[in-house]
């Protein structure tokens, strides 16, 4: 079975911006059984946990306090891509709506909880490099279709 890459917070790591986790037990199990490797692009880019939340705004990523963290997000995405390549991953299950890991829709940069069409920085890089990205929600709905 092919190894997949998953957002580290989905596997139970407390790497979310507020020090929390986004644990999905089914995804944690894949990691424990050796079928998945993890990456947290924001930590890989050098940002601390906990950290001030950031959102994509046009071509930049800006923290709620107004700091431009585009370079950290891009460098974290490159590091996550390296991990995916080193492990032969062709599929990634990434956390929905995140400015790094979201796919299809992300927060709009206003820090008001509004969503816009778009991808996180890591998702964009993965897709450009031929790695299929699905959200944890899509992953779970696929499992439900298995008889
Ligand atoms: S960058 Fe991705 S893996 Fe890290 S906490 Fe955010 S959603 Fe989770």
Alpha carbon distance 121, 76 (integer Å): 9
Average pLDDT (28-50) is 98
**Residue that the structure tokens 């580290």 belong to:** 8
Q: What is the pLDDT of residues 97-141, one digit of tens each?
A: 999 999 999 999 999 999 999 999 999 999 999 999 999 999 999
With the most atoms of ligand 1 within 8 angstroms of its CB, the residue from 5, 6, 9 to mutate is: 9
Q: What is the pLDDT of residues 64-88, one digit of tens each?
A: 999 999 999 999 999 999 999 999 9
Q: Give the Å distance between the CA of 13 and the centre of ligand 1.
A: 9
Residue 59, SS3 per DSSP: coil
Q: Give the Å distance between the CA of 38 and the centre of ligand 1.
A: 10
Give the atom of ligand 1 at the shortest distance from the alpha carbon of 76: 1
CA-to-CA separations, 55 to 9, 25, 90, 120, in angstroms, rounded: 17, 27, 26, 9
Q: Give the Å distance between the CA of 40 and the centre of ligand 1.
A: 5
Provide the 10 A C-beta neighbour count for residue 132.
12
Give the atom of ligand 1 at the shortest distance from the alpha carbon of 43: 4
For ligand 1, atom 4, the nearest C-alpha belongs to 40
Q: Give the Å distance between the CA of 25 and the centre of ligand 1.
A: 16
Q: Give the Å distance between the CA of 122 and the centre of ligand 1.
A: 10
Instruction: Write out residues with Cβ below 6 Å of ligand 1.
Output: 7-9, 15-16, 40-42, 95, 98, 100-101
Confidence tier at 146 by pLDDT (50, 70, 90): low
Gap between the terminal Cα atoms of the chain: 20
């Amino acid at each position: 079975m092919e190894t997949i890459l998953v957002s580290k917070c989905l596997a139970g790591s407390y790497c979310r911006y507020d020090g929390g986790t986004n644990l999905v037990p089914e995804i944690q199990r894949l990691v424990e059984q050796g079928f998945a490797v993890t990456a947290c692009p924001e930590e890989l880019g050098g940002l601390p946990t906990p950290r001030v939340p950031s959102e994509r705004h046009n071509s930049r990523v800006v923290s709620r306090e107004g700091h431009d963290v585009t370079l950290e997000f891009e460098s974290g995405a490159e590091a996550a891509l390296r991990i995916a390549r080193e492990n032969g991953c062709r599929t990634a299950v990434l956390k929905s709506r995140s400015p790094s890991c979201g796919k299809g829709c992300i927060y709009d940069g206003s820090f008001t909880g509004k969503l816009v069409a778009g991808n996180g920085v890591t998702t964009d890089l993965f897709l450009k490099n031929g790695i299929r990205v699905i959200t944890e929600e899509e992953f779970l709905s696929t499992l439900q279709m298995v008889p």
